[in-house]
């Protein structure tokens, strides 16, 4: 079986300047863009005018906006066990709290419709010391978002995030079993599962129903001095060749989107993303 997966990237992984980012992404053969930080703001904080400007830049470089990398449910869950302090909580200029989530969701749906993106990424609240005790409320929140997404003909996709309550393939599978809704799917991030202590491929991946994977994030980890650190894609601990082959065998038809995280050999994030982006192009075309 030969599958040429479409590739994308979160633009601010290449550069905070969306013009530089999208030009570079296009140069290495990517055809999709995922929006998270634009013009120094989180995507949900853009005005309509700023959003239209960003859309024009993306499209001028021949890219399609495929996903809104929103911070939905990336906040503390009230009246829950204490938040696990071991994990860094990256917000990418988002400041919303639990009380802000309904308005945040409404804006994310507006942005997706305006840009033509089919997918809105969501999370599962900051990881607590007893994440299993949060499952029922996570299920309730995701069920509500899926219902809203259906009304907009969109997909909300839960990312397994090591700093949130649903971090591994096994935890993700439990949520999907509890929320059997066609408009709730997942962003599968093998590296996040690895950081969470799971072997992402084949173990974590094989727990997931392939038909509910809407999007895939690509990054990699290495072990240095006994600790996991971000590294160049395809040269770390994740079997990316096996993972991409399995996606092809399972009929995955979505995008593989680069989320570099690695700072590069000289501390140059743009250089790091160009290196990883070219590697991703090779992986995506070899399936």
Q: According to the model, what pLDDT value does residue 86 have?
A: 83
What's the 3-state SS for 51-108?
HHHHHHHHHHCCCEEEEEEEEECCCCCCCCCCECCCCCCCCCCCCCCHHHHHHHHHHH
2-16, 116-130, 146-160: the lowest-pLDDT one: 2-16
Question: Does 124 have pLDDT greater than 60?
Answer: yes
Average pLDDT over residues 89-118: 90
Helix (H) or strand (E) holding 216: strand 213-218
CA 159 to each of CA 14, 19, 156, 269: distance values in angstroms, whole numbers, following the listed order:
21, 27, 10, 23
> pLDDT of 180-237, one tens digit each?
999 999 999 999 999 999 999 999 999 999 999 999 999 999 999 989 999 999 999 9
Write down the CATH number for the domain with range 6-285. 3.20.20.150
Domain map (residue ranges) of the chain: 6-285
Q: According to the model, what pLDDT value does residue 85 have?
A: 87
Average pLDDT over residues 251-256: 97
For 228, the 3-state DSSP assignment is: strand
DSSP string, 184-206: EEEEE-HHHHHHTT--IIIIIHH
Question: Does 1 have pLDDT greater than 60?
Answer: no
Q: According to the model, what pLDDT value does residue 93 have?
A: 64
- Residue 82 burial by Cβ neighbours in a 10 Å radius (0-12, 13-18, 19+): exposed
- For the chain, how many residues are written? 287
Q: Which residues touch 133 (CB under 8 Å, ≥6 apart)?
A: 80, 81
Spatial separation of the C-alpha atoms in residues 151 and 182, rounded to whole Å: 12
Question: Does 121 have pLDDT greater than 60?
Answer: yes
> pLDDT of 126-164, one tens digit each?
999 999 999 999 999 999 999 999 999 999 999 999 999
Question: Does 108 have pLDDT greater than 80?
Answer: yes
Question: Does 166 have pLDDT greater than 60?
Answer: yes
What's the 3-state SS for 120-166?
EEECCCECECCHHHHHHHHHHHHHHHHHHHHHHCCEEEEECCCCECC
Spatial separation of the C-alpha atoms in residues 25 and 155, rounded to whole Å: 25
Q: Which two tokens stand for residue 133?
A: 């005790």
CA 210 to each of CA 27, 118, 198: distance values in angstroms, whole numbers, following the listed order:
31, 18, 18
> pLDDT of 26-74, one tens digit each?
999 999 999 999 999 999 999 999 999 999 999 999 999 999 999 999 9
Q: According to the model, what pLDDT value does residue 181 have?
A: 98
| Contact between residue 45 and residue 94 where contact means Cβ atoms under 8 Å apart | yes
Q: According to the model, what pLDDT value does residue 88 have?
A: 73
Torsion on CA atoms 271, 42, 136, 166, rounded to nearest 10: 10
φ/ψ bin of 16: left (φ > 0), alpha (ψ from -120 to 50), beta (otherwise):
alpha
């Amino acid at each position: 079986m030969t599958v040429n997966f479409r590739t994308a990237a979160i633009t601010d992984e290449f550069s905070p300047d969306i013009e530089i980012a999208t030009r570079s992404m296009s140069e290495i053969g990517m055809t999709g863009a995922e929006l998270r930080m634009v013009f120094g703001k989180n995507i949900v904080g853009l005005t309509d005018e700023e959003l239209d400007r960003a859309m024009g830049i993306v499209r001028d470089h021949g890219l399609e906006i495929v996903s809104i990398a929103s911070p939905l449910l990336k906040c503390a869950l009230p009246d829950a066990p204490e938040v696990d302090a071991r994990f860094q909580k990256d917000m990418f200029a988002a400041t919303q709290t639990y009380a802000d989530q309904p308005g945040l969701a409404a804006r994310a749906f507006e942005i997706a419709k305006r840009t033509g993106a089919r997918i809105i990424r969501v999370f599962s609240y900051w990881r607590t010391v007893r994440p299993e005790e949060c499952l029922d409320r996570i299920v309730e929140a995701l069920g509500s978002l899926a219902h809203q997404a259906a009304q907009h003909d969109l997909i909300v996709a839960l990312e397994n995030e090591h700093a949130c309550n649903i971090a591994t393939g096994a935890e993700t599978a439990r949520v999907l079993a509890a929320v059997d809704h066609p408009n709730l799917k997942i962003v599968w991030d093998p590296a996040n599962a690895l950081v969470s202590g799971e072997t992402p491929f084949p173990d974590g991946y094989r727990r997931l129903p392939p038909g509910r994977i809407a999007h895939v994030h690509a990054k990699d980890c290495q072990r240095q001095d006994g600790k996991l650190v971000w590294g160049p894609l395809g040269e770390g601990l994740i079997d990316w060749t096996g993972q991409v082959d399995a996606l092809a065998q399972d009929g995955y038809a979505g995008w593989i989107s680069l989320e570099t995280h690695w700072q590069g050999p000289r501390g140059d994030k743009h250089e790091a993303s160009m290196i990883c982006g070219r590697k991703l192009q090779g992986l995506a075309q070899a399936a």
